Structure 1
Amino acid sequence: MLSLFACGKKEKVVSKQEAPGKCPHCGGAVMATVVEEERRLCRCLTLCLETKRKFSCSLCSRRLHSLLP
């Protein structure tokens, strides 16, 4: 049985923009950050490339979660 594991994970911020809504904790503006995540096997083989959108508050820097699927 052969077991593979990822040796490295690299994240790169692609873009940032203001998202609609307010932070439920402090009332600050919400920022949407698009992040490209790359998982590699021993720096030579890319296993997976994902694009994610992360939400955070611009005032208190808390990570926020979207209620939409």
Structure 2
Amino acid sequence: MCLLFICDEEERVLGTQTAPGFCPYCGGVVQAMDVESQWTFCFLPLSFKTKRRYFCTICARRLVVYP
């Protein structure tokens, strides 16, 4: 008997906007993206999470914001 677990994470961009500040690496404009991620198990949705991610528009680095 063989068990096969199929798990998948889908991400969907909800919206983008310009964030205040500049990239510390290249000085480019920072863009904020709202991303919704959905975990599925055998095509059944398990959880939804909405996160805000920050990216530089010039060097395309993902930036981390510390409170």
TM-score (norm 1): 0.86
| Identity among equivalent pairs (%) | 44
Aligned to 1:30: 30
**Matched letter for residue 56 of structure 1:** F
Please list every run of at least 4 consecutive aligned residues from structure 1 whose deviation after the TM superposition is greater than 6 angstroms.
Answer: none
| Structure-to-structure mapping, 1:1-69, within 5 angstroms | 7-43=7-43, 45-68=44-67
Backbone CA RMSD of aligned residues: 1.2
TM-score (norm 2): 0.89
Cα distance in 2 for residues equivalent to 1:32 and 1:6? 31
**Conserved in 2, the CA contact under 8 Å of 1:55 and 1:64?**
yes
Relative distance call for 1:34 and 1:46 in structure 2 (3 A) is same
Cα distance in 1 for residues equivalent to 2:30 and 2:18? 6
**Conserved in 2, the CA contact under 8 Å of 1:34 and 1:54?**
yes
1:6 deviation in Å? Answer: 6.1
State the aligned residue count. 63
> Unaligned regions of 5+ residues in structure 2, if any?
none
**Matched letter for residue 62 of structure 1:** R
Cα distance in 2 for residues equivalent to 1:9 and 1:48? 10
Cα distance in 1 for residues equivalent to 2:20 and 2:7? 37
